[in-house]
Structure 1
Amino acid sequence: MSDASSSAGPGSALLGPADVRRLAAELDIRPTKKLGQNFVHDPNTVRKIVASADLRPDDVVLEVGPGLGSLTLALLPSCRATVAVEIDPVLARRLPRTAAERAPELASRLTVIEADAMRVTADRFPVEPTALVANLPYNVAVPVVLHLLAELPTLRTGLVMVQSEVADRMAAGPGSKVYGVPSVKLAWYADARRAGPVSRQVFWPVPNVDSALVAFERHAPLSTVDQKVLFSLVDAAFAQRRKVLRGALAGWAGSAAEAERLLVSAGVDPGARGEQLDVGDFVRIAEAASRN
C-alpha cells in the first residue's frame, strides 16, 4: 500500500491514504459509526472492485455512500456515467470538485444526488442506473440493496462491499445456518454470490469487522404475487426459527389450520421450517394466500 496516488486510466488519479486524510482534514470530517463511515484508501482495492463488477462501457453505475470519492474515481473511466447518492451534504458538495481536480476529462460523467439511499426514488435519477457498485454502510446494507432493487427495475447487476457476516447471509442458500430473511428477499430479485474478502487494512478508520464483496445479477420476475405479501410471509417464517411452518405462520395466515391449508395447497410440508424453503417455495405459499 502506498500513499502515492495511482492511475486508474486516462486522467483518473485515485486517492491514496495521504489523499484521504488530507481531504477529511480539509472538510473537518470525522468518520462516524452512526453513518457507517469507513473510507477506502487503497487504490488496488478499488481497482479490484471495479474489475470484479464486470461493467459494460454503456453502464450507468449507481454508487451509494461515495464518501471522499475513492471508488468513484475508479468507476468514472469504466462506464458511461456514475450517479452517486450521498447523505452527507459536506461530502456530496465536495465530490464533484474532487472529480474535476483528479479526472477533469471524466468529471462530466458524474452526477451527485444528496439523499438517503434508503428513501431515494427513481424520479431523482437523471439517467436509469444499470449497475450498483458500492461500499455500503454496514448498518443498512441489506435494506439499501432491497430498496434499490425494488425502486430501480433497470438495475441489472450489483457488486457491494458489506460486513463479512452480512455477505454470508445475503448469498446463503436453504439449509445453511445463516440462511434467513435477507437471503430469501434478495433471491426474490436476483441471484447472489460471495465475490471475495476485503482486508480491514484498506479502510480508514480500520473497522473491527471483516468485509466481503457480494455480487448479484437480477433474474426474471418469479411471480406476479405482491412483494409485500411475500416479504411479510418470509418475515413470519423466520421470526420463530424453531417453530415448524404450521405454527410459525399461524399469525400471518390467521390460524394454524389456515396456515396448514395454504402450505399443503402450495406443496410445502407444514412440518418443515423456514430455513428449508427456497424462494420458489415461499412464492407458491404467497400465491396460495393471494388466491383466497
Structure 2
Amino acid sequence: MSGGPAVVTRFAPSPTGRLHLGHALSAVRAHDLARGGGGRFLLRIEDIDGTRSRPEHVETILRDLGWLGLAWDELSFQSERLDLYTAAQGQLADLLYPCFCTRAEIAASLSAPHGPAPVYPGTCRHLSPADRRARMGQPHSWRIDMARAVERAGPLTWHDAYAGEVIADPLAQGDVILARKDAPASYHLAVTVDDAAQGVSDVVRGVDLFDATHVHRLLQALLGLPTPRYHHHPLIVGADGQRLAKRHGAPALAAMREGGADGHALSDALRRNMLPAGFRLGEA
C-alpha cells in the first residue's frame, strides 16, 4: 500500500485467561493488515479488570503470539494509562450519572429477555440530586445518558470492511457504563481512548463487537477523536455452532503449543480460512 498514511493496527487481549483460536484469527488478521500496509502492529494488554487479570496470563499471551510467528512493534498496558481515562471521563462529566443497581436488580427489572447483555432500563437516571448525594457512599458505576449524548453528537456513521457504511445507533445500546465499580474505565471508554492515543487507523476484531462500535463512534464524536476504519470478521465456532469463549473451555493456544503443534503452520492455515477439524467460521 502506498500514497497514504501507514496502517496501524492492534491486538488487545485481556489477561483473564488463555488465548484460543478465535484470538489467533484476530491477531493474525490485524498483524497482516499492518504489515501489508507498511505499517505498525501494536500489542495492548487490557489489564484494568483488577479482579480477573493475572500476570501469568500476560506471559502466556506473549509466548502464544511468538509461537504464531507474530511480532509486534509496541507493547503497552492499559493499567499504565489510567490518567487518560480519568481525563476523558471528566470531558463527559455532564452526561454521566451514578448507577447503584446490581446486575441482579437490573435483570429483575426487565419484563422480557434482551439477549446476553440486557439494555439498562435507566433506573438511576431518574434519581433526584438529593438521592444521588445521599447514596454516593455506596458502590456505584457511572453511566452515560445516551439520549442526551446522541442529541449532542448528532447523526453519525462509520465504515466497516464487511458491512460498508453503517449508520450509528448508540441509543439501541442503552445507558452503557463508562466507569465501573471494580475498574477505572469500561471497555467502551478505554478502547476508544486508547485507539485514538495510539494512532490506530484500522480496528480488526470479531463481529461479536460490531454493536459496541455504535457506542465507540459516539464517544469519538463527543471527545473529538478520530474514527478508525473497522474490520469485523466472522467468529470461529465449534461443531455446536457456538462461538469460542474462555468461559466455555475453548481449546487454548498454549495447550496446542505445549502439545507440539506448529504455530506458524496454524497462522498460515488461518490466513486461508482453514481451521482444525471440528471448527468453522460463523456468519459475518
State TM-score, norm by structure 1: 0.31
Which one has more relative contact order, counting CA pairs under 8 Å at least 6 apart? 2
Kindly name which structure, 1 or 2, has the bigger radius of gyration based on alpha carbons. 1
State TM-score, norm by structure 2: 0.31
